[in-house]
Structure 1
């Protein structure tokens, strides 16, 4: 079952095509990551799905309704776009109660969402005393007021310190187990990998991947990291492995990396032993989501800047 379906969804700003024709389906009841380099159109896509801006072409269906008529589905959609805004001098509870009254929602929803986001014990404090992480949690509470089937969060961990990121990660994982669909836009790929089951990758408005994270990770490669018991044997270890036909790299930290998979671990160990070298460690490492993502989108800022310049030139023609 899908909750969002896009068919040729496009958005242009003058000569710039911010979102190229996108066609994808988002499954219901999943935590879904939306990722891409800065300037790739993630926020533009979110704004189209929320009816904040109109597409230049194509269409999308949210909960079975066209984004051309957002009033038909927004009552069951919650969203947090950019930094949440609240009245600083009012308590969290007072802010949420005002929002609930504006939307015609029962006051019981305020207690429910405060409990969900972990602010029930501090709900009567003025928001101006809240940390950034607490304000983000309050923003998510506001998005949860209508008990949405679909929750869309644009960079919910942006600007947070590590402890705040962990808090939001835990909250999103909890929301994902409650049966609702959560779409999270983020540039923190480790967080996306930790909480999401499904992934949409866009680069400069173009869809690169849409599907389960597991399916994308299988396109990555493995390597074997090892260290000799004595650092003085590092170069000799690398030479011994190269003579066996492996591609080998050494690091300034004293380790050796072999372009190989799990099936090569035992032969590598035997080759080291045959060379008279005892290993301190040997680890088979699967490419992370970040490794695969960078391989798809570009490893460095220079590569991304060059790609953006090319896109700009194409857009001008």
Structure 2
């Protein structure tokens, strides 16, 4: 679905990404992880069309994103920090988004209902707690039934029940053939749902391995321990 060929990005003298080559396929859940400053956010912004690469190209379903922005309608994005208008109520935001996306006839309200968004519909966005804002952001990401989901630290500030509801929803959309990219520092939340791990470091792909490959090479079952063992030469 997403093909990244020799993508590089520089900001002045700083090179944020260095000749990145990656493929993302239908029905897979990919963990995009790495230390702060590794290039994760830059790469996500390029996929979303918020930044253009300095060199290289990126295609979604075979279409170069610099030539056609329509692909964005197929992406559901849950940012780490939502930038929703604080003077609007929850209900007003959802009503506005539905008016903007009249082309979508079948809405996906699973997360909306699981997180009881109706119960906070009259609240102003500026008065929501961090967990509530995460729930609103998640419900919006899934609402328009996108083929591609990009979830940036999706479990941050969520309570355990909501966390489990979100993980179950991710498993269901993967079974439907959708593609999910997740960034997270809490690797324990990714156990059981991630098929593949891409680890970025200093703007480069340090490794790109399936969970089965990581399990075989490290002898570990938990993702956090797999990553630590895979990084030991670098950590020393």
Bucket of the pairwise TM-score, normalised by the shorter protein: 0.7 to 0.9
Matched, 1:122 2:119: yes
Could you tell me which residue of structure 1 aligns to residue 27 of structure 2?
29
Unpaired runs of at least 5, structure 2 = none
Could you tell me which residue of structure 2 aligns to residue 98 of structure 1?
96
Partner-residue secondary structure (3-state), 2:66:
coil
Pair 120,161 (structure 1): closer, same or farther in 2 beyond 3 Å? closer
Question: What displacement does 1:150 show?
Answer: 0.4
Higher relative CO (Cα under 8 Å, sequence separation at least 6) belongs to: 2
Could you tell me which residue of structure 1 aligns to residue 3 of structure 2?
5
Q: Distance in 1 between matches of 2:102 and 2:93?
A: 14
Q: Distance in 2 between matches of 1:106 and 1:28?
A: 21
Question: What displacement does 1:140 show?
Answer: 1.8
Pair 65,106 (structure 1): closer, same or farther in 2 beyond 3 Å? closer
Q: Deviations over 1:38-71 (max 9, x none)?
A: 2111111000011100101111111221132351
User: Which one of 201, 204, 217 corresponds to residue 202 of structure 2?
Assistant: 204
Question: What displacement does 1:84 show?
Answer: 1.9
Question: What displacement does 1:295 show?
Answer: 3.6
User: Which one of 178, 184, 187 corresponds to residue 186 of structure 1?
Assistant: 184
Q: Distance in 1 between matches of 2:67 and 2:14?
A: 25
Partner-residue secondary structure (3-state), 1:218:
helix
- The total of aligned residue pairs comes to 235
Partner-residue secondary structure (3-state), 1:183:
strand
Return the index of the structure with the highest Cα Rg.
Answer: 1
Could you tell me which residue of structure 1 aligns to residue 154 of structure 2?
156
Matched, 1:195 2:193: yes
Give 1:112-261 correspondences, 5 Å limit.
Answer: 114-115=112-113, 117-119=114-116, 121-122=118-119, 124-128=121-125, 130-160=128-158, 165-221=163-219
Pair 91,106 (structure 1): closer, same or farther in 2 beyond 3 Å? farther
Contact 1:133/1:164, CA 8 A, preserved across alignment: no
| TM-score (norm: length of structure 1) | 0.65
CA RMSD, 1 decimal: 2.9
Could you tell me which residue of structure 2 aligns to residue 235 of structure 1?
none
